[in-house]
Amino acid sequence: MDKHCEAPLHAQDSRLHDTRERGDPIYREWGWSMFRAYERWCRVATGGYQVLNNVESVPPGTGNKMESFWMAETLKYFYLLFSDDPKEVPLDEFVFNTEAHPLAIEGSPTDTRLREALARVHARFRPTLPLSLGLMQRM
């Protein structure tokens, strides 16, 4: 076991998927315990969260940095885990990339709506350049 704790993202990701797929509130409770531990041991007075150098000691040794993925990924998974609306980012319509960005699953209702919206935007803003500029011949 690694003594360091640099906010392991996959633990929060797993709690979200377990809660949504199985419907058992225990996974949400485990996520809340994890969040409380971050608040207790990693939060710094000036804002942000630091890494831990040794999770095997109490109190754990702290590092002097905040991982860049803390805000973008870890807190996003916590937010979704504690959201009361499972339709906020439905897991049957989205997958998360390695940076925790939701991507619509191809063929899902969300994907269809996004593609239709993009087509409308593209049609509206399609450049209409005068042919006299000679730009069309160069393309």
Q: Which two tokens mark 53?
A: 């150098």
Residue 1 has pLDDT above 50, yes or no: no
Confidence category of residue 137, pLDDT binned at 50, 70, 90: low
Cα–Cα distance, 69 to 99 (Å, whole number): 8
Tell whether 98 is in a known binding site: yes
- pLDDT tens string 96-119: 888 888 999 999 999 999 999 999
For residues 71-86, give the mean pLDDT: 88
Cα–Cα distance, 101 to 95 (Å, whole number): 8
- Alpha-carbon Rg of the chain, whole angstroms? 22
pTM above 0.85, yes or no: no
